[in-house]
Amino acid sequence: MPTPDELYAEANKLKSAGQIEAAVTKLQEILAVAPDHVLTHSALAVHLQKLGKPDEAVAHARRVTELEPNDPFSFTQLSVICQRCGRIQEAEDAMAHSHVLQGRTPHRQ
């Protein structure tokens, strides 16, 4: 049986070939055996947003922040996904949290 990392590599090949839905299916296979695979949640957030599935995309981006709560990039990605899904306040909150983790003062307008 392939490892989660091997399945992830297969999903990347599918994505590179323009087969986003097939890549999503492959990524979901990973979560069946490794539900906390961070890269999978991160990739699913991006792909599902592109497929017009905002609730699922945000849920996966949020899961990344739960698994990597001290990683500023996790919150930056959540911010971008939220912004692209039209959730502006959530996007601003996530970016502010990213700034705090980086030791910067969050910018509020």
Residue 13 sits in a domain of what CATH number? 1.25.40.10
CA 54 to CA 38: how far, in whole Å? 19
Domains held by the chain: number: 1
Where in the sequence is the domain holding 14, given as residue range(s)?
4-101
- Is the confidence at residue 106, as pLDDT, over 70? no
Q: Is residue 109 domain-resident?
A: no
* Residues near 35 by beta carbon (within 8 Å), at least 6 away in sequence: none
Question: Which pLDDT score is estimated for 15?
Answer: 97
71-103: per-residue pLDDT in tens?
A: 999 999 999 999 999 999 999 999 999 999 999
- Is the confidence at residue 107, as pLDDT, over 70? no
The set of long-range contacts for 35-41, using a CB threshold of 8 Å and a minimum separation of 24, is: 36/67, 37/4, 37/8, 38/64, 38/67, 38/68, 39/8, 40/4, 40/8, 40/11, 41/67
